């Protein structure tokens, strides 16, 4: 009988979890950027392969949270540990292991399911550099396997998929063969807009922006999809950065997002982007609900 079940991708921000997810399911389902804290929600995506089906759960990078948003993000990642059959803990092998890695590795102390350590970004390091990292990691946790991969080139990824599949229970597929992701179309829109924002902004801006869909008008879907979005920023001074000189920046973000959305939805897209200031949106539960970030019982620590 074939195997099927859930595998969670967890790790520090920027380790390459979402890049790896996209590589494994063979399509872009999660946005990716070189800024930490790109993923804000858990994302389910399905991989069908010989011998079974893996339902991946991509999660936000684990870090010390300072806002309600980040508390919800970290909880979303840690909560998946209780709901899955196997965990893939992703490390960025191109950076020296530090306290953040130790913290994440020791999260699994009381977790009974197998944890596979994935050493990602091996295209950036030599084999010799991996050995001390493996030794260090084994002192933190008894990993079921350690697998070096490159999500960027695909090196080692097939072996990882097979290993993860072998940790799943014997079962019928969880989802139908043609099911790819649980993300709503609205979410895909706001994520793609946010990805373009992340690509074009620096410093604190990536952390302080959110994209909300005000209207998803599909009344003439065959001809054109009309999408109205608001980009939230925290201060007045951030607004002109996103708008750019003569509107050049927001135009570029809009064009790039529209091109990708037209390919995704296979129809023409009209994309209206506006920018609003909300100084405290990261602590505003209503905005966070609108964004679909799962609720958390915890409060952010005092700053
Ligand atoms: N060279 C190289 N770069 C990689 C690899 N995997 C991911 N990256 C890059 O690392 C950066 C972070 O990738 P993401 O997939 O967004 O990382 P993440 O772990 O999902 O990050 P968060 O969502 O913030 O937790 C991006 O710039 C990727 O292009 C890899 O195997 N090799
Ligand atoms: Mg991510």
Collect all residues with Cβ–Cβ distance below 8 Å to 191 and sequence separation of at least 6.
Answer: 30, 31, 183, 211
Q: What is the residue with the minimal CA distance to atom 32 of ligand 1?
A: 121
| Tokens representing residue 206 in the block | 């990536």
Q: What is the residue with the minimal CA distance to atom 16 of ligand 1?
A: 32
What is the per-residue pLDDT for 91? 96
What is the per-residue pLDDT for 242? 94
Q: Looking at the CA of 77, name the nearest ligand.
A: 1
φ, ψ of residue 286 to 5 degrees: the values are -65, -45
Ligand 1 pocket: which residues have CB below 6 Å?
11, 13-19, 32-34, 36-39, 60-61, 120-121, 123-124, 150-152
pLDDT tens digits along 194-252: 999 999 998 888 888 999 999 999 999 999 999 999 999 999 999 999 999 999 999 99
What is the per-residue pLDDT for 300? 62
Beta strands in the chain (DSSP E): 3-11, 43-49, 52-58, 86-92, 115-120, 145-148, 210-217, 224-233, 268-277
Are 54 and 164 in contact, with CB atoms under 8 Å apart? yes
Q: Looking at the CA of 13, name the nearest ligand.
A: 1
What is the per-residue pLDDT for 289? 85
Q: Which residues of 174-212 are buried (b: 16+ CB within 10 A; e: fewer)?
A: ebeeeeebebeeebbbbbbbbbbbbbbbeeebbbbbbbb
Percent of the chain with pLDDT over 90: 75
What is the per-residue pLDDT for 208? 87
Report how far residue 167's alpha carbon sits from residue 193's, in angstroms, rounded to the nearest whole number. Answer: 36
| Tokens representing residue 118 in the block | 């994935």
φ, ψ of residue 39 to 5 degrees: the values are -80, 130
Nearest to 69 by CA among 302, 303, 233, 291: 291
Task: Looking at the CA of residue 40, tell me the nearest atom of ligand 1.
Answer: 23
Neighbours of ion ligand 2 (CB under 5 A): 17-18, 38-39
Instruction: Measure Cα distances from 91 to 107, 159, 205 in Å.
Output: 14, 17, 25
Report how far residue 133's alpha carbon sits from residue 148's, in angstroms, rounded to the nearest whole number. Answer: 11
Q: What is the pLDDT along the chain (303 residues), one digit of tens a residue?
A: 899 999 999 999 999 999 999 999 999 999 999 999 999 989 999 999 999 999 999 999 998 888 888 888 888 888 888 899 999 999 999 998 888 899 888 888 888 899 999 999 999 999 899 999 999 999 999 999 999 999 999 999 999 999 999 999 999 999 999 999 999 999 999 999 999 999 999 888 888 899 999 999 999 999 999 999 999 999 999 999 999 999 999 999 999 999 999 999 999 999 999 999 999 888 888 888 888 788 876 666 554
Q: What is the residue with the minimal CA distance to atom 1 of ligand 1?
A: 121
DSSP 47: E
């Amino acid at each position: 009988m074939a195997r099927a079940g859930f595998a969670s991708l967890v790790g520090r921000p920027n380790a390459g979890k979402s890049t790896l997810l996209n590589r494994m399911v063979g399509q872009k389902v999660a946005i990716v950027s070189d800024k930490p804290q790109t993923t804000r929600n858990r994302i389910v995506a399905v991989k069908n392969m010989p011998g079974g089906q893996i339902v991946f759960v991509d999660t936000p990078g684990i870090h010390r949270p300072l806002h309600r948003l980040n508390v919800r993000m970290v909880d979303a990642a840690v909560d998946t540990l209780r709901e899955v059959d196997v965990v893939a803990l992703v490390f960025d092998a191109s950076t020296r292991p530090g306290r953040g890695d130790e913290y994440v590795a020791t999260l699994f102390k009381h977790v009974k399911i197998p944890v596979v350590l994935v050493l990602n970004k091996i295209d950036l390091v030599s084999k010799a550099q991996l050995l001390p990292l493996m030794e260090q990691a084994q002192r933190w946790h008894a990993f079921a396997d350690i697998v070096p991969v490159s999500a960027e080139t695909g090196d080692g990824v097939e072996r990882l998929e097979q290993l993860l599949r072998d940790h799943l229970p014997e079962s019928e597929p969880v989802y139908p063969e043609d099911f790819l992701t649980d993300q709503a179309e609205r979410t895909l829109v706001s994520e793609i807009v946010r990805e373009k924002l992340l690509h074009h902004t620096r410093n604190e801006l990536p952390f302080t922006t959110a994209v909300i869909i005000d209207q998803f008008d599909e009344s003439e879907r065959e001809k054109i999809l009309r999408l109205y979005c608001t980009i939230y920023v925290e201060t007045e001074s951030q607004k002109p950065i996103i708008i750019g000189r003569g509107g050049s920046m927001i135009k570029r973000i809009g064009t790039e997002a529209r091109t990708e959305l037209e390919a995704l939805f296979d129809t023409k897209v009209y994309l209206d982007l506006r920018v609003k200031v909300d100084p405290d949106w990261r602590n505003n539960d209503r905005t966070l609900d609108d964004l679909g970030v799962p609720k958390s019982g915890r409060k952010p620590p005092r700053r």
